[in-house]
Structure 1
Amino acid sequence: MKFASSISSTKLSENPDPAKTLRSETLMASAAGAFSRRFLLLSPLPLSSAHSFALKPSLSFHRLLSRNRGASASMCLSAPVVVDAQTTDRWKPMCLYHTQGKCTKMDDALHMKTFNHDFLVDLKSNIRSLNKLRPQNLDYLLVLDLEGKVEILEFPVVMIDAKSMDFIDSFHRFVRPTGMSEQRINEYIEGKYGKLGVDRVWHDTAIPFKEVLGEFEQWLNNHDLWVKEQGGLLNRAAFVTCGNWDLKTKIPEQCKVSKIKTPSYFMEWINLKDIYLNFYKRRATGMMTMLRELDIPILGSHHLGIDDTKNITRVLQRMLADGAVMQITAKRSTSAPGDVKFLFKNRIR
């Protein structure tokens, strides 16, 4: 679904026919009710009440039903979902307009009941007792998990207190490619986000990477983590990624496409896989392995950046609670940005 021009069979309209919209929503609701009365179809219409659209059924809908027949869930903008039985009573999909500061339905009771607008719901720090927490050399950890193989499509960051594990803030933007044709962008988004049911919100909110970085730098400045005029590394903070790809490879590639210099705050990071390997003495190939080995249920949609970032944050919180110390694992040379030095001898390659 595309804002202004369709990339699927569903079309947006600035002046929809109310009768047709009502019939469409009624048919969808009836279809969902055939599977379970406890599943809900909801169109939040965050940007304008003049827009109408139909939500595509979740690809994991049948899997979710078979796994959690007694659970209450929503088919909505962040479906499909994989929800553990322990979390179904409290889990709700995040409103992806809200994460970007663009939700206009905060006074709609049904919307508020159906969508999560509070990161603390998923990122409470009381995972285990805190008596194993060890002193950290950093004050804040910024969990980052980019999406997009050709160009970056999503830039989500979750900030937590390194000493208490508490959630502090988040930054989330969908990113519009600048080096691709409109047709290729449409195909790209349909293939990536169409199957997750979030292509509409992407088209409504995505902005170029250069603008995203401008807003992100203001966010960093608001938290006293970095000052543009001073440059340099982050102040008492570090990025945490699940692998080296995000900051070693993708950020420099995207900066080149966007015709900007790689910002200085991207010069070092913590690869959580390396910390995991050295702390638990076992190898984890990715987020899903970590979640499974630590018996942490996945929340939301795998490969939706903001959900993956939250799940990586939950792994990080658990590791801190178990006594892990977060250390920089990789540094980029300021004189030769393509030259990256890996600081751990025992690391994931």
Structure 2
Amino acid sequence: MALIKLARQLGLLETIYVDGESAADKSNTSSYLNRLRKPQLTMQPYKYLICVDFEATCWENHAPPNWREPEIIEFPAVLVNMQTGKVEAEFQKFVMPIESPKLSAFCTELTGIKQKSVDDGMPLQTAIMMFQEWLRKELRTRNLQLPKMSKDKPIGTCAFVTWTDWDFGVCLAKECQRKRLKKPTYFNQWIDLRAIFREWYKYRPINFADAISHVGLTFKGREHSGIDDARNLASLAYKIANDGAPLAITKDLAPFQLNSNCIL
């Protein structure tokens, strides 16, 4: 239990319950945590990380009303080797928004994504399917497993990484729910690198670029380009790991569910 306490202090053990029950109501919490107990926190369990940074429709100076929720317009991911720091594979697709099909001038200026790119883009469900094919190929090529793919290896050897919980916990989850799209269960677990960054360096960055600069890295590419942000996120994850920070799953939307229905 000392290890679990330390993990909580480091912000590496934060669970979202989706069925409305509190932790006190979960009689099997201890056994679950034991199954997912991290190895020594000074060791890195993941051989590879998949860094994701969605870009979505947005508007200037105010939160959108209920009928104008953010929709994903760029779906990027990079696969980084945590032994070398090298990005070995990339995925990028532009996605057609259907709730607010016309991009705001603010969105185009911020992300650099043109109206034609999303007009020629694909539905989100198609992007998810194409991503799954890419993911299956890359994982099988390297004999990697995502977390909770089997009872024998609940931690896995490869995990998703985002900057904050917004990408998977808010943006993708809510859009799939609104549009009644099937979301693969492997999107339910991820590493929030900002949470680890804050605790490890005892510094609260103003934004992602500030975090990059704080550890002596240089941002490469265009800020708020999804694929460039994902590449820089990979560089930051490698830097943090080399500095000794333990990388572990920080969020789990379905903590008592294996990803056994995943077809990877």
Q: TM-score, normalised by structure 2?
A: 0.65
Task: Tell me the secondary structure at the aligned position of residue 205 of structure 2.
Answer: coil
Look up the SS of the partner of 1:185 in the other structure: coil
Q: Which residue of 327, 341, 349 maps to 2:248?
A: 327
CA distance in structure 2 between the aligned counterparts of 1:197 and 1:282, rounded to whole angstroms = 29
Deviates more, 1:167-176 or 1:283-292: 283-292
Separation (CA, whole Å) in 1 of partners of 2:233 and 2:94: 19
Offset of 1:195 from its aligned partner?
6.3
Task: Name 1:302's counterpart in structure 2.
Answer: 223
SS in 2 for 1:157: strand
Is residue 142 from structure 1 mapped to residue 57 from structure 2 by the alignment?
no
Letter aligned with residue 121 of structure 2: A
Return the alpha-carbon distance in structure 1 between the equivalents of residues 134 and 73 of structure 2. Answer: 19
Alpha-carbon contact 1:220-1:226 (below 8 Å) kept: no
Task: Give how far 1:164 is off.
Answer: 2.8
Alignment of 1:1-349 (within 5 A): 135-149=43-57, 150-178=70-98, 180=99, 184-186=100-102, 188=103, 190-193=105-108, 197-199=112-114, 202-203=117-118, 205-223=120-138, 224=140, 235-333=156-254
Please identify, of 203-212 and 263-272, the stretch whose mean Cα deviation from structure 2 is larger: 203-212
* Contact 1:231–1:264 (CA under 8 A) maintained in structure 2: no
**Residue 20 (structure 1) aligns with:** none
Counterpart of 1:261 in 2: which secondary structure?
coil
**SS of equivalent to 1:207:** coil
CA change 1:283–1:254 in 2 (3 A) is same
RMSD of Structure 2 on Structure 1 (CA): 2.8
Secondary structure at the aligned position of 2:56 is classed as: coil
Larger RCO, structures 1/2 (Cα 8 Å, 6+ apart): 2
Residue type matched to 1:295 in 2?
G
| 2:196 alignment partner AA | I
- Give the whole-Å Cα distance in 2 for the aligned partners of 1:283 and 1:190: 30
3-state SS of paired residue (2:101): helix
Give the equivalent residue in structure 1 for 2:39.
Answer: none
What letter is aligned with 1:246? Answer: D
Aligned to 1:193, the other structure's residue is in SS state helix
Residues 197 and 275 of structure 1: is their aligned pair in 2 closer, same or farther, counting only changes over 3 Å? closer
SS at match of 2:224: coil
* Deviations, residues 268-311 of structure 1 (Å, cap 9, x unaligned): 11000111122222223431221121232222221111111122
User: Does structure 2 retain, via aligned residues, the 8 Å contact 1:273–1:286?
Assistant: no
Distance 1:321 1:195, change over 3 A: closer
> How far did residue 226 of structure 1 move?
6.7
Gaps (5+ residues) in structure 2? 1-41, 58-69, 258-264
Contact preservation (8 Å) 2:56, 2:72: yes
Of all paired residues, the percent bearing the same amino acid is 27
Could you tell me whether the CA contact under 8 Å between 2:97 and 2:118 is conserved in 1?
Answer: no
Change (3 A) 1:240 1:288: same
What's the CA shift string for 1:141-182, capped at 9, x where partnerless? 01111111421111111111123322111111111113x2xx
- 3-state DSSP of counterpart to 2:248: coil
Call closer, same or farther: CA 1:203–1:148 in 2, change over 3 Å.
Answer: closer
- Native 8 Å contact 1:147 1:153 kept in 2: yes
1:235-281 alpha-carbon deviations (Å, 9 max, x no partner) = 52111111011111111111123322331111111000111122222
| Alignment partners' CA distance in 1, 2:110 and 2:185 | 35
Bigger Cα displacement from structure 2, 289-298 vs 199-208: 199-208
Say if 1:142 and 1:160, in contact at 8 Å, map to a contact too.
Answer: yes
The count of aligned residue pairs is 196
Mapped to 1, the partners of 2:115 and 2:249 lie a distance apart of 37
Rate the CA distance shift 1:252–1:260 in 2: closer, same or farther, 3 A. Answer: same
